[in-house]
Amino acid sequence: MQDAPDLLDRAKAVLEANDCGEYTMPAPQLYPHQWLWDSCFIAIGERHVDIERAKMELLSLQRGQWQNGMLPNIIFRNDPHFRADRDFWRSWVSPFAPDHVATSGITQPPMLAEAIVSVGASMAWPERRQWYRQMWNTLLSYHQWLYSERDPHQEGLVLLVHPWEVGLDNTPPWTSELANHQLPSWIRALQTLHLLGLVGLFRRDTRSIPVDERFSTLEVLAMFDIQRRLRRKAYDTSKILDHSLFTIEDLNFNSILVRANEHLEHIAKSIREDIPPELSESIAKTREALEQLWDPYTGQYYSRDFITHHLLKEPSIATLMPLYAGSISQERAEQLVKLLENEHQFGPPYPVPSVPLSSPNFHPKRYWQGPTWVNTNWLIIDGLRRYGFHDHADALTESTLEMVDHSGFAEYFDPNSGEAAGGDNFSWTAALTIDLIKSNKT
């Protein structure tokens, strides 16, 4: 990339501006707290700039870990200004929540193992082993929690209880499930009385971002309603399962988990730690179980309903994540790459769209319902390299960097025009730009 040095400096400036000391805000106005998978992506880029700062980004996640091992998707700022956010979650209703910080009560994709290994790769061996040891208990107890709490039938696939856990908040497989289940009466009443527009006026996110680039107000209310139900059950999965509207074995999450487990095994070996036998068994099961999400009729992977075991045949960016998992056959990987090459599916001028263009749900600027995001591109680039598609990986790296160079460090981008959408000065866009420039051949 011709402009790479300048792009690199601009990316570093975004991370610096969003740095709060202990952690980096995903975006100052929209997301002032610490988010789990954001910090992982941020550390992956930050390691090229300041290794100690990258370590701190991950170490600071430890303060939010619950006693049962859960890593929450949000650790809240301890600032009177944000009391409403903390009160909304009330993590203190759970006996497992930490005492000194308020957090959410749900998790996010398990990117931590990848981030630990990436940061470790920038160190010499003795320091790397020490680094692994510093993070080992956090990582091990998190993976143990994922299976003990979220895989109650020992199927190998971890279940999610809220769309925010997927990281792709309003992704179509989840929003279709939301629509298929009856909305609570208070939301239906607002809808019937045409009051959703009025409720929308109170939204903080749409003060700085056009409303058609975010969730619909109906989706937001439905998500708040699920969150309220989880809070009433003190975020205890066994209680939640008895009354949940729907629970999903999500493809994006479980694909990332397959890879995370591999990293966990690598870390354990490097520091001569034993992985408890139950966890090893679960790890092996997950690799196999991912294949149960394959649909031979459409030639794609999908998420699955935990109760009915029906595949949720709504295509989204998750379709391509088994490439990143790395456990699928070369033949399946080739089938996925064909979808990526198809201009009516995942191959517009600025790929990879979060929903294929052929889907009726596709909207070029609406959040996780069409736009291109840099973090999912990063995961796909990694997967393409693993399966030997280096030309595809180079091309995707180049189009990603070009898009960011022209449109700035946006939260997401229109896949047809490459234009910026959502918030700006977005940390993971900046961090992963740095990593793409530093780690990939273009």
Q: Tell me the catalytic residues.
A: 169, 411
Placement of tokens 């030639």 in the chain: 299
Question: Contact with ligand GLC (CB under 6 A): which of 167, 322, 371, 418?
Answer: 167
DSSP assignment string, 51-93 = HHHHHHHHHGGGGG--TTS---SEE----GGGHHHHHHH-GGG
Task: Say what the alpha-carbon torsion angle 214, 218, 220, 226 is, to the nearest 10 degrees.
Answer: -150
Would you count residue 26 as binding ligand GLC (CB under 6 A)?
Answer: yes
Would you count residue 35 as binding ligand GLC (CB under 6 A)?
Answer: yes
Q: Specify the residue, 302 or 426, whose C-beta has the smaller distance to ligand GLC.
A: 426
Q: Report, in Å, the least distance between residue 333 CB and ligand GLC.
A: 25
Question: Contact with ligand GLC (CB under 6 A): which of 169, 177, 314, 414?
Answer: 169
Would you count residue 378 as binding ligand GLC (CB under 6 A)?
Answer: no
How many angstroms separate the CA atoms of 373 and 405, rounded? 14
Burial of 419 (0-12, 13-18, 19+ CB in 10 A): middle
Of 35-43, 216-224, 255-263, 331-339, the segment contacting ligand GLC by CB under 6 A is 35-43
Q: Report, in Å, the least distance between residue 35 CB and ligand GLC.
A: 4
Q: Report, in Å, the least distance between residue 299 CB and ligand GLC.
A: 27
The residue number with the shortest CB distance to ligand GLC is 26
Q: Report, in Å, the least distance between residue 168 CB and ligand GLC.
A: 6
Q: Specify the residue, 74 or 116, whose C-beta has the smaller distance to ligand GLC.
A: 74
Q: Token digits for 282?
A: 């679960």
Q: Report, in Å, the least distance between residue 361 CB and ligand GLC.
A: 16
Question: Contact with ligand GLC (CB under 6 A): which of 18, 23, 37, 162?
Answer: 37
- Count of CB atoms within 10 A of residue 237's CB? 20
**Are the CB atoms for 15 and 26 separated by under 8 Å?**
no
β partners of residue 249: 159, 304
Q: Report, in Å, the least distance between residue 109 CB and ligand GLC.
A: 8
Would you count residue 31 as binding ligand GLC (CB under 6 A)?
Answer: yes
Q: Specify the residue, 26 or 415, whose C-beta has the smaller distance to ligand GLC.
A: 26
Residues contacting ligand GLC: total by CB under 6 A: 7
Of 32-40, 82-90, 151-159, 254-262, the segment contacting ligand GLC by CB under 6 A is 32-40
Would you count residue 38 as binding ligand GLC (CB under 6 A)?
Answer: yes
DSSP assignment string, 386-425 = HTT-HHHHHHHHHHHHHHHHHH-S-SEE-TTT--EES-SS
How many angstroms separate the CA atoms of 213 and 231, rounded? 28
Task: Say what the alpha-carbon torsion angle 213, 393, 266, 125 is, to the nearest 10 degrees.
Answer: -110
Binding site for ligand GLC (CB under 6 A): 26, 31, 35, 37-38, 167, 169
